[in-house]
Structure 1
């Protein structure tokens, strides 16, 4: 699975290299863990770097990477109704390697998605399939977006994010 995803990203990179115009984006995001993820982690923080090529009118695609970390929190383990001990979950950090696409649904609004693999670089959870649909507001130089991020591998780390990107042309 990892080879298929990385091969797809490589093909996309070389395929879009022939497109004429592209833009580089750098940004940051903060998120709230959802579901079972919120039992172990208090917040998701990260930085993003992307390069997108204009493929068609209102549509661009490219590659993205960065760094994202889930900050662990204290919780009490229970056996039945008896509190067993206070445990601190460890931080989990990932480097995503993904393809990204974005479609402008209006002059200042877009939808998009990142698909790829998240490589675990700190923590004891394996990496996994990364998916992140997005909806946002954009101007010529900035983007503000909300997204749902999931990293799946025998369970899912999930969160809702608020992000900001600065575009370099």
Structure 2
């Protein structure tokens, strides 16, 4: 029941953000697992949709929702081939970015990652990032993702491309 409530809340936030039309960020990332899931997961892909406010030129604050999919490795012991399960998460997080210069940012996301596959309860989601602006509306960022999953730690290193949609007020 609680998970359904949180998913509904995430949907309401996404819809509210979509109607606000101020500063959307769409990100696509790919990466590699480290730590506890390194031998079970081969590669990780994901996507984010976020809404960022810029109260001043050096600080951004916002919300972000996304999806993370970890593709399972095949495990072979002798002649037996075992398919390990893939892992999926739906993170919902608060985001912040600090821009010490025009082309460089650092910051992070903190929130909850909801487990989407069987036996995956999800957990605390932390994602520190370094970003480099590569165009007027785009950036590349490097991040480390950490999710507490049951008694284990999901951790990945990822590379992402982020595109910022201009708001309606920029076209006036």
Q: TM-score range by the shorter chain?
A: 0.7 to 0.9
RMSD: 2.5
Q: How many residues align?
A: 151
1:134 is aligned, of 112, 117, 129, to: 129
Residue 153 of structure 2 is aligned to residue 156 of structure 1: yes
Q: Offset at 1:109?
A: 0.5
Superposed CA offset, 1:82-135 (max 9, x none): x59432111111111100001112110000100000111224222111000000
Superposed CA offset, 1:7-48 (max 9, x none): xx99xx8xxx9xxx9411112000111123110000110111
Structure 1 portions without partners, runs of 5+: 78-82
2:164 is aligned, of 130, 142, 167, to: 167
Q: Given the two structures, how large is their TM-score scaled by the length of structure 1? A: 0.80
Q: Given the two structures, how large is their TM-score scaled by the length of structure 2? A: 0.79
Between the aligned partners of 2:40 and 2:119, the Cα distance in structure 1 is 13
How do residues 1-169 of structure 1 correspond to structure 2 at under 5 angstroms? 22-76=22-76, 85-138=80-133, 139-153=135-149, 154-169=151-166
